[in-house]
Amino acid sequence: MTVIVRDFRPGDAEAVTRVRRASMPFEVTTPTSVLFGVETANPAKKYRLLVAEKDGELIGTAHAGIAYDAAEPGQSYVTPHVHPEHRGQGAGGLLLRVAEEHLAAEGATQVYAWVLDGPENLAFAKKRGYAPTRPAHFQCLDLANGVLPELPAPPAGVELRTAADFEADPRPLFEADAEATSDEPGDISMQFEDYDDWVAHTWNDPLLDRQLTTVVLAGGEVAAFTAALTDGSTRYLSGMTGTMRAHRGRGYAKLAKTDSLRRARLAGYTHAFTSNDADNGPMLAINRWFGYEICATEVRHVRALG
């Protein structure tokens, strides 16, 4: 009846996926993506995927690492997940403690964590020294039955492409992603400069659906994009939607999302998900326009280590 925590083994991928899907049904996870995250982690990340077992059954998991591309050193993260049927048995606290010890040993001075909103979860975080910083909203869309807007004709000089059209040279998408990411609200300021690392962990992510990722070109340059992450079956997640600074205010984000969502529905995807910071009014408004509804809220927390 004792809960133990150990490092992930390749044979755990299916069980880790089950736990993540049960505890975070608004995200997209597959066994392949779990293995990819472990096997390709940048060494500087000091990444560990921990699992909690009880009587031989995997009931919880936590991924932890150093934010090696942060502008300020010493930043780290951890996110524990415990299967809803096994909460209150000590797995979450044990996962968190082991992860924090690992991060502190690797030089982390601060650790960030996402906590699902709710009295028990927030009390769990507070008890362990975590303080809230900002909320974010998960949003859900019934892609099979919802009414999507019609795709407008692109303005003169504007065309729609997919990420698959950039397979020979994805660098323009890297540069667009870097600009959009730098403008995203967040606790950790990122230095998004390593193209090879981006190719290894973003472009080659098995969840990235290059055919459903829409890119808006204006005058031949990337003006906006929406990245589509899918499980290859029914679940679609907007990984990032961004418009370049020089092209904002022209409706390109809506154009990209409309195109991607409509093609995702034609491809058989039935559930669409996204998430945004609670103060990201423009994207929340765009998602409401598409018919997304808030289905859960999580709160970013931080704790000092050492």
Question: What are the DSSP calls for 33-79, one per residue?
Answer: HHHHHHHT--GGG--EEEEEEETTEEEEEEEEEE-TTBSSTTEEEEE
Pick the CATH number of 3-108 from 3.50.50.60, 3.40.630.30, 3.10.100.10, 3.10.129.10: 3.40.630.30
Instruction: Answer yes or no: are the C-beta atoms of 263 and 212 closer than 8 Å.
Output: yes
* Range list for CATH 3.40.630.30 in the chain: 3-108, 141-297
Our CA dihedral for 244, 212, 229, 223, rounded to 10 degrees, sits at 0
Pair 33, 282: CB distance under 8 Å: no
- Please give the pLDDT value at position 282: 85
* Per-residue pLDDT at 188: 56
Class of domain 141-297: alpha beta
pLDDT value for 189: 55
The closest of 139, 121, 140, 122 to 131, measured between CA atoms, is 122
The residue ranges of the chain whose pLDDT is under 70 are 1, 184-191
**What pLDDT score was predicted for residue 72?**
87
Instruction: Report yes or no: 306 and 164 within 8 Å, Cβ to Cβ.
Output: no
pLDDT given for residue 150 in this prediction: 95
Total-model pTM: 0.92
Residue with tokens 């000092």: 304
Q: Residue 181 has what pLDDT?
A: 84
pLDDT value, residue 86: 96
What is the model's pLDDT at position 193?
A: 78
